[in-house]
Amino acid sequence: MTRMKYSARLQDTLHKASIVVLVTAPLLGIATAMIFAWQRIFFPRDLVLLLVIHTLACMGITVGYHRMLTHQGFSAPAWLRMIILICGAMAFEGTPTQWAATHIKHHAHSDEEGDPHSPLEGFWHAHIGWLFARTNFPEARTYAPHLLQDPVVLFVSRTTPFWMALSLFVPFVLGGWTGFVWAGLVRVFCTTHITWSVNSVCHTFGSREFETTDASRNHWLVGLLAYGEGWHNNHHAFPRNAFHGMRWWQVDCSGLFIRFCEKIGLMTEVQRVTPEAAEAQRVRALRTRGTIEILRMQLQYSAESAQAEIERIFQTSIATVDDRTLHTRMMEYLQRLSEIRRSVSSPMFLKRPRLEGYAAQIQTLLEQARAMARQTGAA
Ligand SMILES: [Zn+2]
Ligand SMILES: [Zn+2]
């Protein structure tokens, strides 16, 4: 048991250390690039390398990890899937299985308890903070077991560190130390922060075209920089849609790439949304949101009444019995009810199953308190 605890603590420390390196090394790269530039050591070749590797890695994430793997927005032959996922592995955002599992969890609990990176817990938590807790990275076995059967995905997942190292080594070979700094470190900064902005900026700033049951938003700048991923409200409304930009002016480079591949026959079963389906989704989500608000109000009321009744039982029990277990239990019930009330009144968006779970818990707590009071003769 102690050994298990020790091993878990060691893994936590190693995980935190790796994130510290991931966050600080690119920053040091930017500082070094600035010093180089100050001394007029600058080669346009390095910027070209940066742009090319960043585009490959970023598209690997958006087209490969996200639209293909996580949401199954299209089908592609094994060799093409392999290339796209290898590009994604160069983004320094983890293995395809881990990325997909975390993102599936994000969609399952968007902006409620269980979301690995909701800005309702703080903007910086959504941007970077969440990365430090190993518990925010769910097991692929739980959230993406189907991916563990896919030999292409498994191959890229097992070799991810190699592709990461290669994406630093290639600019070094082609551009020396300045190539390494610009197209290696500065590029990792650009790729990771642009992806992280989808989690932070696109759940905080921007417009909402669809009334989804989360805080997702469309942000034009992230849309441009993240090759289409910034049309995030559209994406939450239609997760399987391979095209996140749904209007002509919503630039979506990943969508354009998918459309091109579909045209030349490389991608099939490309998922789309018809205008009718879009309208139906808008109406359905509005209705769901209304029902949930009513459920929240009802829960608040029943938690308050349950709290009042348990407090009454508690007062009577103090006067009639001197049973420490009874008192401890009653305090636990009251504490749990306070937690439920806090959760229900928090700005976090809570989905229907969780609210129904709370309703059942309130009822159980109340029944247990009544039964206990009857047993001890306090009621
Ligand atoms: Zn999201
Ligand atoms: Zn998604």
Report the separation in Å between the CA atom of 203 and the middle of ligand 1, taken as the mean of its atom positions.
Answer: 6
**111 alpha carbon, closest ligand:** 1
Report the pLDDT value the prediction gives residue 348, as an integer from 0 to 100.
64
What is the C-alpha separation between 73 and 269, in angstroms, rounded? 8
**199 alpha carbon, closest ligand:** 1
Q: Which of 104, 127, 115, 123 is nearest to 349 (CA)?
A: 115
Question: Which amino acid belongs to residue 168?
Answer: L
What is the C-alpha separation between 35 and 54, in angstroms, rounded? 22
**196 alpha carbon, closest ligand:** 1
Question: Which amino acid belongs to residue 101?
Answer: A
Residue 361: pLDDT over 90:
yes
Convert the pLDDT of each residue in 77-113 to its tens digit: 999 999 999 999 999 999 999 999 999 999 998 888 8
Q: Which of 90, 93, 96, 94 is nearest to 169 (CA)?
A: 90
Report the separation in Å between the CA atom of 232 and the middle of ligand 1, taken as the mean of its atom positions.
Answer: 6
Task: Tell me the three state secondary structure of residue 218.
Answer: strand
What is the C-alpha separation between 240 and 68, in angstroms, rounded? 9
Report the separation in Å between the CA atom of 317 and the middle of ligand 1, taken as the mean of its atom positions.
Answer: 49
What is the C-alpha separation between 83 and 266, in angstroms, rounded? 13
Asked whether 232 and 214 are in contact (CB, 8 A), the reply is no
Instruction: Kindly list the distances between the CA atom of residue 294 and the CA atoms of 161, 282, 287, 347, in Å, as whole numbers in the listed order.
Output: 49, 19, 11, 15
Q: Which of 202, 260, 195 is nearest to 235 (CA)?
A: 202
Determine which of 105-114, 123-132, 221-230 has the lowest per-residue pLDDT on average: 105-114
Give the rounded percent of residues in the chain with a pLDDT score beyond 70: 96
pLDDT band at residue 117, thresholds of 50, 70 and 90?
very high
- DSSP E strands in 47-119: the ranges are none
Report the separation in Å between the CA atom of 375 and the middle of ligand 2, taken as the mean of its atom positions.
Answer: 52
Longest dimension (CA), the chain: 86
Asked whether 157 and 96 are in contact (CB, 8 A), the reply is yes
Sign, CA dihedral 12-141-143-56, equals positive
Instruction: Kindly list the distances between the CA atom of residue 113 and the CA atoms of 107, 134, 351, in Å, as whole numbers in the listed order.
Output: 12, 16, 9
- The CA angle 370-327-303, to the nearest 5 degrees, is 50
Residue 64: pLDDT over 80:
yes
What is the C-alpha separation between 7 and 335, in angstroms, rounded? 33
Q: What letters, b where the CB count within 10 A reaches 16 and e where it falls short, cover 270-308? A: bbebeeeebeebeeebeeeeeebeebbeebeebbeebbe
Report the separation in Å between the CA atom of 133 and the middle of ligand 1, taken as the mean of its atom positions.
Answer: 19
What tokens were used for 363?
């009822």
What tokens were used for 368?
């247990």
What is the C-alpha separation between 170 and 184, in angstroms, rounded? 9
Please give the DSSP secondary-structure letter assigned to residue 214: S
What is the C-alpha separation between 364 and 379, in angstroms, rounded? 17
Half-sphere exposure of 218 (CA within 13 A, CB side): 21
Burial of 4 (0-12, 13-18, 19+ CB in 10 A): exposed
Report the separation in Å between the CA atom of 124 and the middle of ligand 1, taken as the mean of its atom positions.
Answer: 15
Burial of 38 (0-12, 13-18, 19+ CB in 10 A): exposed
**Please, which residues bridge with residue 363 across strands?**
none
Residue 354: pLDDT over 90:
no
What is the C-alpha separation between 57 and 77, in angstroms, rounded? 19
Burial of 49 (0-12, 13-18, 19+ CB in 10 A): buried
Q: Which residues contact 68 (CB under 8 A, 6 or more apart)?
A: 74, 76, 81, 84
Report the separation in Å between the CA atom of 115 and the middle of ligand 1, taken as the mean of its atom positions.
Answer: 9
What is the C-alpha separation between 113 and 148, in angstroms, rounded? 26
Report the separation in Å between the CA atom of 376 and the middle of ligand 2, taken as the mean of its atom positions.
Answer: 53
Report the separation in Å between the CA atom of 66 and the middle of ligand 2, taken as the mean of its atom positions.
Answer: 6
| Mean of pLDDT values over 60-72 | 97
Which carries the bigger pLDDT value, residue 314 or residue 53?
A: 53
Note the pTM of the prediction, 2 decimals: 0.80
Convert the pLDDT of each residue in 154-210 to its tens digit: 999 999 999 999 999 999 999 999 999 999 999 999 999 999 999 999 999 998 888
Which carries the bigger pLDDT value, residue 41 or residue 319?
A: 41
Report the separation in Å between the CA atom of 236 and the middle of ligand 2, taken as the mean of its atom positions.
Answer: 7
**119 alpha carbon, closest ligand:** 1
Q: Can you tell me which residue has the tokens 């610009």?
A: 182
**215 alpha carbon, closest ligand:** 1
